[in-house]
Amino acid sequence: MKEKILDVMNDVPKAIDIMAINDMLGLKSVEELQELQKNIKDLQEDGLMHETRKGEYILIKNCKSLMTGLLSVNKTGNGFLLVEGPDIFIAKENLNGAINGDMVEIDTIRYQNSIEGKVIKILKRNLDNIVGEIVSKNGKLAFEPDDAKLTIKLKVDYDSLKHCVEGHKVLLKVIREIEPNFYLAKVDKIIGHKNDPGVDIISIALRHNIAIDFSEATIKELEFIPSSVSEEELKNRKDLTNKTIFTIDGDDTKDIDDAISIEKENDNYRLGVHIADVSHYVNVGSALYEDAYMRGTSSYLADIVIPMIPHQLSNGICSLNEGEIRLTLTCEMLINSKGKVIDYDIYESYIKSKKKMTYKNVNKILENNEVPEGYEPFVADLKLMAELAAILRKEKINRGYIDFELDEAKVIQDENGKAIDIVKRQRGVGENLIEDFMIVANETVATHVTNMDLPFIYRVHDIPSSEKIEDFVNLVKQMGYKLQTNITKLTPLTMQNILKELKGKNEFAILSSTLLRSMKKAKYSTNNIQHFGLASLCYTHFTSPIRRFPDLTVHRLLRTYCFMHKIDMETINFNSKYLIDVAENSSETEVNSVEAERDVLDMKMAEYMMDHIGGIYDGIISSVVNFGFFVELPNLIEGLVHISSLDGYYTYVPEMLSLVSTDKKTTYRIGDKVKIIVVAASKENGTIDFEIYNGEENGN
């Protein structure tokens, strides 16, 4: 019935009452009317329908100013509605009782360069992942949530505290609502003591709905997972064990799911991308498969990996370890000197990796012509790969591939899990080479199945809204720069040209990041709307089935369609419906993982800066908000300069992304260089506070 309601309401421009909807659907009985009422309520909770004060209904998409989505509340108490494109800012005074994680409906107000929202209705509340610490209050144990943004009251069942001690991190389960915003809960899981290594990170993972433990059924299935590949499993697969195939990964990588090989044929390159055949071991309907679906992705949180599939597979039988026979799916491509794939084959195979290489050592060879011990037999292949990668990258850039050149922060921890340094993650020729090879393999696989006109799952990235790019161009103008790029027709080359014009500017890193935030988010979909950021007409994720469920799904589809040749109507109809769920769930779990990674990074940055209170640093203003501005340091640590700490009185000017003093003598705007002093940091809240430093240098 939901689909029918959406269909009849699709072109209704104004709100109508339930009886009008009833008549449009041609419903006759009281039972049908009751079902209609229930489905309308569900559509409201799903954020698809709006109820007016008069009790009339209209689709959200037909309302100019209304939007629905998931609410994310930041450390300052302000909120953002997570939507396609840039998130919508909601000031804390406009949250109207909504809390982090709520599905809400908002009314929007558009300014010259920004849109702000106000919560008008809480549609659905998710209280599944309340994590916090057991504290002592007045001689009794009590619960204190980690999430300072959780503005609800909780009463914890005292019997469930009997195995807890002060300092324990726990996961609560809500039993029932006692009254509005007041809930009865019990301790569902003791995570560990807050001082134990890794407990801080695991607590954040649980808060973001990332499962730590595998089900008992999955653990039982592991008893039947082999530790080595049998002769029987090699049948009907192409033997590639004599080929020079190797892997390139980070120093600490244990879950290796891609290997590469290369040969030169006249002016063409034969590139082999060999991917771990996880789908051979993780079958549809198994507990392993269900656990993998539920997780959706592996999460890499500082130095802790929470895997999508158990380590017995991810680091064992599925990992393409050096010297071990492993089952793979191979995408073998013949690529010409222009970077075009002129022929390809996709098949089941098995390999024996000749070398586990690291990016660090590969970069020594390709950047410094320095050959580490044990790499001598592979130098020619690596240089040939670098040659091909340069051709592929040039081809991507020519078609519009957008490289935002954004740096990433890496946390260095001691043996006790304490952050002792924050550094920029290094990215060299080796990292780019693997990225280029994986992209061309993903495109080749996606194109192959698309040409078969069968249900599939794509990695898509929609065209940004023209309004957002206009806002960005206006911001650049406010900063004194004039762009020549014509933005009347948005293509990947348009964005690339904007970045080229900004290259070399002092504020390039900040502006590049701001432009990225102006674009829509990549996601998974069964509808191929192309990938704007990669300037790719057809793209999927095929190369990381150990770490991502969509890749595992793509492997299953390849086996079904291409190796088993099962393309009957029953199979097509099943995949047409099921893949929609896979795409939605995978996009949602990806968001959970990314947010957990961000929170862990914030926490570890704050933990590191707790030992640097009083330190003086040069930084650049990365964003400006109505309560102050954030300053980014050279190592990517970011802290808040609150408006109350500034000398004098300041007004927030959103169209200029600036704070302007009332006497107009001082302006703080995005991209400005400033000198700050660290005044506070809180690991618990993941916050760092700066103040503008106007004194003398003190040697920090």
CATH at residue 183: 2.40.50.700
Q: Based on the domain organization, do 508 and 656 belong to the same domain?
A: no
The pLDDT of residue 338: 96
Burial of 228 (0-12, 13-18, 19+ CB in 10 A): exposed
pLDDT surpasses 70 at 693: yes
The pLDDT of residue 506: 84
Asked if 42 contacts 49 with a C-beta cutoff of 8 angstroms, the reply is no
Alpha carbon distances (Å) from 292 to 170, 228, 288, 696: 24, 22, 6, 56
Using alpha carbons only, how large is the chain's radius of gyration in Å? 27
Q: Based on the domain organization, do 424 and 304 belong to the same domain?
A: yes
Residue 641 lies in a domain: yes
Task: Name the least confident of 111-125, 436-450, 513-527.
Answer: 111-125
Q: Based on the domain organization, do 542 and 631 belong to the same domain?
A: no
How confident is residue 655, by pLDDT bands cut at 50, 70 and 90?
confident
Residue 70 lies in a domain: no
The pLDDT of residue 108: 87
For position 620, which CATH number holds? 2.40.50.140
How confident is residue 130, by pLDDT bands cut at 50, 70 and 90?
very high
How confident is residue 121, by pLDDT bands cut at 50, 70 and 90?
confident
How confident is residue 85, by pLDDT bands cut at 50, 70 and 90?
low
Boundary-marking domain end, from 579, 600, 621: 600
Residues facing residue 351 across a β-bridge: 326
| This prediction's pTM | 0.87
pLDDT surpasses 90 at 673: yes
Q: Based on the domain organization, do 384 and 407 belong to the same domain?
A: yes
What is the rounded average pLDDT of the residues 510-523? 90
pLDDT surpasses 80 at 113: no
What is the rounded average pLDDT of the residues 243-261? 95
pLDDT surpasses 90 at 101: no
How confident is residue 54, by pLDDT bands cut at 50, 70 and 90?
confident
Q: Helix, strand, coil: what percent of the chain each, to 5?
A: 35, 30, 35
Task: Name the least confident of 83-97, 446-460, 645-659.
Answer: 83-97
The pLDDT of residue 84: 67
Q: Based on the domain organization, do 480 and 565 belong to the same domain?
A: no
Angle between helices 379-399 and 359-368 (to 10 degrees): 90
What is the rounded average pLDDT of the residues 352-361? 97
Give the integer Cα–Cα distance in Å for 162 and 177: 23
Structure-token pair, residue 23: 């008549």
Structure-token pair, residue 52: 């007016």
Task: Name the least confident of 60-64, 277-281, 355-359, 388-392.
Answer: 60-64
Q: Based on the domain organization, do 454 and 577 belong to the same domain?
A: yes
Contacts of 409 (CB under 8 A, 6+ apart): 422, 423, 424, 425, 601, 605, 635, 636, 637
Residue 383 lies in a domain: yes
Question: What's the pLDDT tens digit per position in 141-173?
Answer: 999 998 877 878 999 998 999 899 999 999 999
The pLDDT of residue 622: 92
How confident is residue 699, by pLDDT bands cut at 50, 70 and 90?
very low
Alpha carbon distances (Å) from 424 to 104, 154, 407, 569: 37, 40, 6, 51
Q: Based on the domain organization, do 420 and 552 belong to the same domain?
A: yes
What is the rounded average pLDDT of the residues 582-599? 94
Q: Based on the domain organization, do 272 and 250 belong to the same domain?
A: yes
Q: Based on the domain organization, do 541 and 681 belong to the same domain?
A: no
Residue 535 lies in a domain: yes
Residue 515 lies in a domain: yes
Q: Which residue range forms the structural domain that includes residue 565? A: 218-458+531-600
pLDDT surpasses 50 at 700: no
Contacts of 611 (CB under 8 A, 6+ apart): none
Instruction: Give the H/E segment covering residue 439.
Output: helix 429-451
Give the integer Cα–Cα distance in Å for 206 and 212: 7
Residue 525 lies in a domain: no
Residue 74 lies in a domain: no
Q: Based on the domain organization, do 484 and 633 belong to the same domain?
A: no
Instruction: Give the H/E segment covering residue 385.
Output: helix 379-399
Task: Name the least confident of 3-12, 68-77, 226-235, 660-669.
Answer: 68-77
Q: Based on the domain organization, do 427 and 300 belong to the same domain?
A: yes
Question: What's the pLDDT tens digit per position in 178-212?
Answer: 988 899 999 999 999 999 999 999 999 999 999 99
DSSP alpha helix (H) spans, 137-280: 199-207, 216-221
The pLDDT of residue 698: 44
Q: Based on the domain organization, do 280 and 394 belong to the same domain?
A: yes
The pLDDT of residue 1: 78
Alpha carbon distances (Å) from 39 to 18, 34, 61, 121, 581: 11, 9, 18, 18, 20
Q: Please give the share of the chain, as a percent, with pLDDT higher than 70.
A: 98
CA 65 remoteness from chain centre: 27
The pLDDT of residue 66: 87
Asked if 605 contacts 419 with a C-beta cutoff of 8 angstroms, the reply is yes
Mean pLDDT score across all residues of the chain: 92
For position 59, which CATH number holds? 1.10.10.10
DSSP state letters, 391-438: HHHHHHHHHT--------EEEEE-TTS-EEEEEEPP--HHHHHHHHHH
Residue 571 lies in a domain: yes
How confident is residue 696, by pLDDT bands cut at 50, 70 and 90?
low
Give the integer Cα–Cα distance in Å for 400 and 532: 9
How confident is residue 127, by pLDDT bands cut at 50, 70 and 90?
confident
Q: Quickly tell me which residue has 């995408």 as its tokens.
A: 331
Give me the number of domains the chain comprises.
5
Question: What's the pLDDT tens digit per position in 628-651?
Answer: 999 999 999 999 999 999 998 999
